[in-house]
Amino acid sequence: MPASSVPQACVPNRFALILLWVTPAFWSSNYIIARASQGVLTGHSLALGRWTVALLLMLPGVWRSRQAMREAARDEWKQMLALGALGMWICGAVLYIGGQRTSATNIGLIYAATPVGIAVLASAWLHERMAARQKLAMGLALLGVLLVVAQGEPMRILQARFGSGDLWVLVAAVGWVLYSVLLRQWRSRLGPRERLACITLGGVLVLLPATLLEWALVPVPAFTPRAALLIAAAGVLPGFISYQAYAWLVDRLGPVRCSIIMYLSPVYAAFLAWGILGEAPHWYHAAGALLILPSTWLVSRTGSR
């Protein structure tokens, strides 16, 4: 192999490993935005606004590829629409609706199972296998998440009660598992950036009639500057930045290794809540981080087989 080819192969992989650690910070902002939106925006309103803003931000970067995107859409439009429904509607509006009707503990418990679900589904559909130490690392990371969710008291998990809001969150969690695996299984002639723009357009097309139906059925709060700020923040951070990064990471590393992002989110969210909402972290956040962070490093170091 020529020496000049080594940097070309290594640099993208090194960047992917760095991005694997950075992306959850943007992703976790969605928890803060969702909490701040209660009484300000309905679930579908926030999701539609979020992905409309994200799509507008994507357009300048893909405008030169619009002809290739149109040609690809003729063959892949069903996949783009399905991924848009899963990633932007189910994992967006449905999650927001559930988050307004259940506790953060229950959301954490349900979403803690998604990396395991992704690993199982990727193994069945994509024939991806994990080494024994990666399975151990994923188990330790799950233990760390449960420690944070239970706030250091295991009985909190046993005492958790699940209601209608949790069913919405469960649907969103299943949607995330499907989105992650199908994003890799359904190959595209487009690059990750162009493909995500098409998927986002599909998500907006699905969200628009669903949002209009929601407005017709439930009371909608008056639109305020705070609502506009929340939509802008959701569109930029957990929308435009995090989904572009995740789409590129799945294409580069595969869904199993990328699923570990979900374990990092509670740790990052705790520090974001500390800085933005003034909610100081506790000892169990540190203990959970001591389990999650080394486990994430171990899973990211060795690829699926």
Question: What digits encode the pLDDT tens for the residues 124-143?
Answer: 888 777 777 777 777 777 78
The predicted structure's pLDDT at residue 167: 85
The predicted structure's pLDDT at residue 235: 96
Residue 8, domain member (yes or no): no
The predicted structure's pLDDT at residue 226: 95
The predicted structure's pLDDT at residue 183: 93
Residue 43, domain member (yes or no): yes
In degrees and rounded to multiples of 5, residue 201 shows phi and psi of -60, -40
Query: Element (H or E) spanning 151, and its range?
Result: none
Q: Among residues 238, 284, 240, 302, which one has the least CA distance to residue 265? A: 238
In degrees and rounded to multiples of 5, residue 131 shows phi and psi of -70, 160
DSSP-assigned letter for residue 222: P
What is the DSSP track for 30-84? Answer: HHHHHHHTTTTS-HHHHHHHHHHHHHHHHHHHHGGGHHHHHHHHHHHHHHHHHHH
90 CB contacts (<8 Å, ≥6 apart)? 171, 172, 174, 175, 176, 179
Residue 206, domain member (yes or no): yes
The predicted structure's pLDDT at residue 104: 62
Residue 211, domain member (yes or no): yes
The predicted structure's pLDDT at residue 4: 39
Residue 218, domain member (yes or no): yes
What are the structure tokens assigned to 78, written together? 């069903």
Q: Which domain holds residue 187?
A: 22-301
Residue 17, domain member (yes or no): no
Residue 292, domain member (yes or no): yes
Round to whole Å and give the CA distance between 296 and 299.
5
pTM recorded for the entire structure: 0.81
Residue 10, domain member (yes or no): no
The residue whose two tokens read 């294409």 is 251
The predicted structure's pLDDT at residue 109: 64
Q: Which residues of the chain have pLDDT under 70?
A: 1-12, 103-106, 108-109, 149, 151, 157-162, 266, 270, 273, 276-279, 285, 296, 298-305
Residues 47-82 pLDDT 10s: 999 999 999 999 999 999 999 999 999 999 999 999
Q: Report the domain count for the chain.
A: 1
The predicted structure's pLDDT at residue 12: 58
